[in-house]
Structure formats: structure tokens, C-alpha cells
Amino acid sequence: SYHTVFQTTGVRPNRFSLPRQHSLVHYITLIQMFGAPNGLCSSITESKHIKAVKEPWRRSNRYNALGQMLLTNQRLDKLAASQVDFIERGMLSGNILSP
């Protein structure tokens, strides 16, 4: 039900492909059968959550925050893509003070 927001706003227009999140459904049964998994680290998903949710939430005014958060993420993605493009073109080499 919550995924429809991402489809209607165009973030994920076609469908979701989240195998890692789907595998979480099976964790309880697998842990009961085989014990705790070795080397399980949630820091990657936690850091992604902070970048994708917590930081945009702080930038919003908390009124209709989801739309603001999606727009913030979209703008940050475009800025990052522009930075990569500018670096490839040599537009960001050196500094402002160099002749």
C-alpha cells in the first residue's frame, strides 16, 4: 500500500525489485532453524536510510513532508550527477583563485 506513493510520484514508475528486503521475511524462520547469521551487518542499509530519509526529513518543514523529501532526494541526485559530469568535462579542476 505504501509503495503506491513511489509509483504515483514517478520514483519507481514500473515496479519494485527489492530482493534484499524480501529476504528479511524469511530471517525469523531461518534464524530459528540454523541460528544467527554470521557477518550480518545492517550498517549499509542504515547509512542509506539516513541519507534517503533522515536528512531530507530534517530539511523539510514537516508539513506534507513526503513530497518534500522526495523532491529533496531528486534534487540531490541531479546535483551529484551534474558534479560527475562537470568533473569529466574538466570544469571543476583547480580552484577559484587559480588563473
What is the rounded average pLDDT for all residues in the chain?
81
Determine the 3-state secondary structure of 80 from DSSP. Answer: helix
Looking at residue 83, what is its pLDDT? 92
Looking at residue 18, what is its pLDDT? 63
Q: Pseudo-torsion of CA 50, 55, 60, 65, nearest 10°?
A: -10
Whether the pTM exceeds 0.75: the reply is no
Return the amino acid letter for 20. Answer: R
